[in-house]
Structure 1
Amino acid sequence: MSRLAWTLYNALQLLFTLLWTAGWICLALLVRLLSGGCHWPLRMASRCWAPGLLHGAGARLEVHGLEQVDWARPHVFVANHQSMIDICALFRALPVPLRFVLKQELAKVPFVGWYARAMGMVFIERSSARSSARRLRAAADLLRAGASVCAFPEGTRSRDGRVGAFKGGAFQLAIEAGVSVVPVAIEGSGRVLPAAGFRVRPGRIVVRIGEPLPTRGMTPHERNALAQQARAAVAALLGEGRAQ
């Protein structure tokens, strides 16, 4: 009976997730059309869509370290990645409109892809270095215009909770735009919604924001060293949580 109950619960969760997401995206696209800008549609994601999905999943969100960041400036936020619900957690935790760096495949997903393209999200085609470089340059222009960008530099979701190697693209972007990199550690999301399948379990998600890493004076050739520094900072933030 317990297994049957969880199966029914997850089926209802999936239905709720699809309907909630489609509904808010349609409304956000309408607001985008009427307002001519991305500010309010992006705030709808952080204030309506994301908290609705977190609440529906029974996820309790805790945020630490907001005081570390000057939120009036643009930044590149880099986070570890355990679950699709990480995007909800970051939309809700970080008090600025966010553009995410996403895999090109997501551009083809109905509703999600439509919203992401309309909001100016950055799509990376990993099989094409030339295309990725062009899109990273466009993302650098976003940062110079005052927008903040969020990336998962591991490139994929971790299935065991360990932080993988960080790829250099997001760090080159920060260096070229001259903005700081902010390490962000997400803990607990993989237990709420594991990387494989769709099995929601209520639980706590903790977002810890680290001290910004300056990029002033750095060259693109130093991006891998910056990536290693950011990965170490994220791993340290996760270690702080486990020590509590």
Structure 2
Amino acid sequence: MIRFILVCIVVIGYLILSIPILLVEWIIGKFSPMTKDISSLRIIQAVFRFILWITGAKVTVIGEENVPKDTPVLYIGNHRSYFDILLTYSRCPIRTGYIAKKEMEKIPLLSTWMKYLHCLFLDRKDIKQGLKTILTAVDKVKSGISICIFPEGTRNKNTDDLDMLPFHEGSFKIATKTKCPIIPIAINNSADIFEAHFPKIRPAKVVVEYGKPIYPDELDKETKKHLGEYTQGIIHQMLEKNKSLTQ
């Protein structure tokens, strides 16, 4: 329970103590939006790395060289833990916004930081609003900001990492409309940090693998029609390959 308490203290403490930082970042943004975007990104990445250090997680990263550092991408990953965001966001090389559930927009200070970081809030119950969010994500990519989404639509609570929920195909419009590369992310064993033994946080062996970029326009017509299924298949292969590394 000590790790859980420490993580809670860090998260709540940071959100409260960062109020002056939010103000400074807002002022910086008035003069140089790009400077503000990068500084906000690096600050949160540092906080996320510190929280991961508290958890004691042993993280193995594979294929990070597959992530372009000079162009925005669409990150697509499986989702089994709240810590998936920390594991992946702490490694983003350029500005990146995550697509989160609408309910998170109601959390004070946290939602402010998320908006600073170009995160978007998806209403999963309203198809029309969901489409608007996807179109906003398209505009973000066109302006040079990567987007990350977990297209299972919710945190997968199945016991086995390999047992993923179906990917929502609508998420992939972000890539087909912008022609940006898709970077598949396979995350093994992240639920063992917290969710597998809630409310305790325990050290866990986690593997994060970045697959080779997928360029939708280079795929045949039939595969492109089922881009979600195709990407999920690649992630499944990586999860299966890396499962032994978490033992």
Aligned to 2:205: 204
Query: How far 1:206 moved relative to its partner?
Result: 1.5
Alignment-derived partner of residue 41 in structure 2 = 42
Q: CA offsets, 1:88-118, max 9 Å, x none?
A: 1001233223200111111001222121123
Q: TM-score, normalised by structure 2?
A: 0.86
Tell me the equivalent position of 2:117. Answer: 119
Contact 2:6/2:54, CA 8 A, preserved across alignment? no
Which structure 2 residues correspond to residues 1-244 of structure 1 after superposition, within 5 A? 6=1, 8-24=2-18, 26=19, 28-36=21-29, 37=33, 38-46=37-45, 48-159=46-157, 160=159, 161=161, 162-194=163-195, 197-216=198-217, 225-243=226-244
SS of alignment partner, residue 240 of structure 1: helix
Change (3 A) 1:166 1:137: same
Q: Which amino acid aligns with 1:30?
A: L
TM superposition score normalised by structure 1: 0.87
Distance in 1 of aligned mates of 2:143 and 2:14 = 31
Q: Secondary structure at the match of 1:74?
A: coil
Structure 1 residues 107, 68: CA separation in 2 closer, same or farther (over 3 Å shift)?
same
Q: Which residue of 2 aligns with 1:3?
A: none
How far apart in 2 are the matches of 1:175 and 1:150? 15
Give, as a single letter, the amino acid of the residue that structure 1 aligns with 2:190: S
Counterparts of 1:93 and 1:193 in 2: how far apart (Å)? 20
Separation in 2, partners of 1:221, 1:132: 25
AA of the residue aligned to 1:151: I
For 1:170, give the aligned amino acid.
S
On the 8 A contact 2:80/2:155 being kept in 1, the answer is: yes
Shift of 1:165: 0.9
Quick one: distance in 2 between partners of 1:81 and 1:110?
24
Distance (whole Å) between structure 1 residues aligned to residue 79 and residue 72 of structure 2:
22
What are structure 2's unaligned runs of at least 5 residues?
none
Does the CA contact (< 8 Å) of 2:25 and 2:40 recur in 1? yes
Give 1:35 deviation, angstroms.
1.4
Paired residues of 1:75 and 1:182 also in contact (CA < 8 A): yes
| CA distance, structure 1, for counterparts of residue 80 and residue 117 of structure 2 | 24
User: 1:129 Cα shift?
Assistant: 1.5
For the aligned residue pairs, the C-alpha RMSD in angstroms reads 2.4
Partner SS for 1:93: coil
Q: 2:176 is matched by which residue type in structure 1?
A: I
CA drift at 1:166? 0.6
3-state secondary structure, aligned to 2:216: coil
Count of aligned residue pairs for this structure pair: 236
Q: Which stretch of the first structure deviates more once superposed, 133-142 or 111-120?
A: 111-120
d(CA) in 1 for partners of 2:80, 2:152: 10
CA distance in 2, matches of 1:74, 1:9: 35
SS in 2 for 1:174: helix
Q: In 2, are the aligned partners of 1:31 and 1:40 still within 8 Å (CA)?
A: no
Q: Structure 1 stretches of 5 or more lacking a match?
A: 1-5
Provide, for residues 153-190 of structure 1, a one-character-per-residue CA deviation record: whole Å limited to 9, x for no partner: 11111222322111123201111111111100111210
Q: CA, structure 1 residues 115+96, in 2 after alignment: closer, same or farther (shift >3 Å)? A: same
Q: 1:137 deviation in Å? A: 1.1
Question: Cα distance 1:9–1:64, how it changes in 2: closer, same or farther (>3 A)?
Answer: closer
**Alpha-carbon distance change, 96 to 63 in structure 1, aligned in 2, over 3 angstroms:** farther
